[in-house]
Structure 1
C-alpha cells in the first residue's frame, strides 16, 4: 500500500506554526493508532528520523514528525535556538493536534524521541497521560553531567561560563544572542561538540538549503542544555510502557547514564542495546532500532497484538 505524505503547520504559542509531515496509508478506513516523532538537539524531520516515521506508517500507524520551533520551516525567533522546555510544550501541542486529525484514534497515541528528544520523551511520558506507549532512543539523561564530560576541569568550565555571561550582558544591551558552530574538530574554534561521528552523520543526511538550516546554534542553547536533566522523570513514567534503545559505546548521551536511568524505571519496560555509538542507531542498526520501536508500539497500541 502506498503512503500518503501530508504537509501540516501546527499553530503554537507565540503565533508561530510548527512545520510537520503526516504519513499514513491511503487505504486506512477505521481510526488508527498514531505515533508522534521528534528529533534531537538540532536535527530536522527530513534528516535521520524520517525513515522511522515511514516505518511506523508502513506498519499501519498514522505518523507525524515535526521540526522544533526556529528550525526548518517552523516559525520562531531567534533561529536555531534550542530551549528544551519550550520544545516539550510545543510537542504537547503536536500531540493535541494529532488527536484532532481525522482518522486518528485519540486514545492510542505513541511517542518516539531520539537523542535530545529522547529526554523530552521521558518528560512527556512521565507527565502526560495521553501517551500510551513511549520509545526513548539514545536519550539525554543529564545535560549537566554531559556538559561536565565534554568540558572537564575548572578552567574549561569557567571559560564557558564567562562566555555565557558575556552573551547575557550583550543581550541586555539589545544584541542578538551569540552563536557558535554545532560541531568542528578544530580545537581553536568554539563549538558545542568536537565529535567526528557527528560530522559523519551530517554528511550522511545533508539538509541542503542554508536558508532553512546552517551549522550554527545560539550559545544560550548550550546553557539551557546544561540546566536540563530529563532523567529525573523516568520513575514517573510507569505504568506507561517504556522502551529504551541504548548504544553500548555512546559518548554523546553516555551509555552508563542511560542504563542507570533505565534501572530506575518501573514496569512495563524493555531495553534494546546495539553495538556501536550514538549515531549508529539511524543507519547501521536501523533494522534493530526501527523494528524494535515498531514492535513495541504494535504490542501496546494495537488491541489484537496486545491481546
Structure 2
C-alpha cells in the first residue's frame, strides 16, 4: 500500500497544493509548491531517480527553487511512494517515461502556473528521463539533469560478466514468477559485487541518507528492470533536445560516470555541462559542499533562461518578470 509522507514546507508563505494525476489509469501523487507573492510563476517538474520516492531528498532542491520565485511540482511514479499501483517498487524506464508525460500534461492544465515556462528536473535515473522527455516535447522551456543516467551500454560495461548473468537470471525469475503472482525482488542498493542495482562505493552510504527520519523504506525493486537498463540510453536522443539543458555531474561519481554525461551535453544544441567535486549522493545532500555548489549552478542557469528575478517581485506587483 502507498505510504503517505507530509510534504508541506514549513517556510512562511509557501502554498502546498496536493494535486494528483492519472497515468495509464493509475493515480500518481503530486504536490505543487507555490512561492509567495508571485502570480503564475514558471514551474519546475521534479521526480526522483532509481527506486526513490519524492520524499527522499527532493524537497531540499524544491525549497530552494521556490525561494527563488519558481513553483515546483514534485510527483511519485506509479507503484512508489504515495502513488497507487501494484506490485510495489516497479522500476521501469518505459513506465517512468509514461508518468513523466502524464505529469507534464497535468501541470500544463494547472491555473496557478505559467504553462509556457515549464522546466523538467531530474536526477540520476530521472536525469535520463527528462532528457528523453524533452527530446519529444518541444514546448519544454528548459531542462536540468543532475548526475544523469544517459547510457545503458556504459552501465553494462561497468558490470562484471558473472554479475550480469546473475542479474539476467533474477530478471527471468521475476518475469516468470509474475505470471503466477509471485514477482521476484532484488536489492536496490548493495555492496560492490553483490546482486543489486546500485553498488558503487558511495551507494551503500549515500542512498539511505536521502530518506527522511522515520520513513519506512524497502531496499528492493522488481528484478525485471535488469533487462531494461542496458537497453535504456537517453543519450541517443540528445541531439533532438532543443531546450536549454543543464547537465551537472560529480567528479567522483561511481554510479553515473561524468564522462558519459559530458558526451550527452556535447550532443545538444543548447547543452551546458558542469563538473562538481563530489560523488553521486553528495550532490543530493544539503549538508554537503557539493550540494551547495550544485544548487548554485542550477539557480544561475534558471535565472539566465527563465528570467525570474525574485528581488524584483513585490507584493504590489506580483507579476513582475512573469
TM-score between both structures, scaled by the size of structure 1 = 0.89
Partner of 1:19: 29
Q: Secondary structure at the match of 1:250?
A: coil
How far apart are 1:303 and its partner, in Å?
Answer: 6.9
Offset from partner CA, 1:14-65 (integer Å, 9 cap, x none): 2x2111121112432x321111011101112111221111111111111101
- Aligned 8 A contact 1:70 1:76 in 2: yes
The 3 A distance-change label for structure 1 pair 133 and 2 is same
The 3 A distance-change label for structure 1 pair 226 and 176 is farther
Partner of 2:225: 221
Q: Which moved more, 1:65-74 or 1:218-227?
A: 218-227
RMSD: 2.2
The 3 A distance-change label for structure 1 pair 160 and 47 is closer
The 3 A distance-change label for structure 1 pair 243 and 186 is closer
How far apart are 1:171 and its partner, in Å?
Answer: 3.0
Residue of 289, 306, 317 corresponding to 1:301: 306
Mark the runs of 5 or more structure 1 residues left unpaired by the alignment.
Answer: none
Q: Secondary structure at the match of 2:22?
A: strand
Q: Which moved more, 1:240-249 or 1:190-199?
A: 190-199
The 3 A distance-change label for structure 1 pair 157 and 286 is closer
Q: Distance in 2 between matches of 1:178 and 1:121?
A: 28
- Aligned 8 A contact 1:82 1:218 in 2: yes
Q: Distance in 2 between matches of 1:202 and 1:233?
A: 28
Give yes or no for the alignment of 1:257 onto 2:260: yes
How far apart are 1:221 and its partner, in Å?
Answer: 1.9
- Aligned 8 A contact 1:134 1:243 in 2: yes
Partner of 2:4: none
Residue of 97, 102, 105 corresponding to 2:111: 102
Q: Distance in 2 between matches of 1:7 and 1:205?
A: 22
Alignment length, in residue pairs? 297
Q: Distance in 1 between matches of 2:201 and 2:93?
A: 24
Residue of 16, 21, 30 corresponding to 1:10: 21
Q: Secondary structure at the match of 1:192?
A: coil
Offset from partner CA, 1:92-125 (integer Å, 9 cap, x none): 1111111121221111111111100000011011
- Aligned 8 A contact 2:203 2:281 in 1: yes
How far apart are 1:209 and its partner, in Å?
Answer: 4.1
- Aligned 8 A contact 1:24 1:58 in 2: no
Q: Distance in 1 between matches of 2:163 and 2:35?
A: 51
Q: Distance in 2 between matches of 1:200 and 1:296?
A: 30
How far apart are 1:2 and its partner, in Å?
Answer: 2.3
- Aligned 8 A contact 2:92 2:228 in 1: yes
1:23-38 to structure 2, matched below 5 A, reads: 23-28=33-38, 30-38=39-47
- Aligned 8 A contact 1:109 1:301 in 2: no
How far apart are 1:5 and its partner, in Å?
Answer: 2.0
Partner of 2:148: 139
1:44-63 to structure 2, matched below 5 A, reads: 44-63=53-72
Q: Write 1 or 2 for the structure with the bigger share of strand.
A: 1
Mark the runs of 5 or more structure 2 residues left unpaired by the alignment.
Answer: 1-11, 313-320
Partner of 2:167: 160
Give yes or no for the alignment of 1:289 onto 2:275: no
The 3 A distance-change label for structure 1 pair 276 and 303 is closer
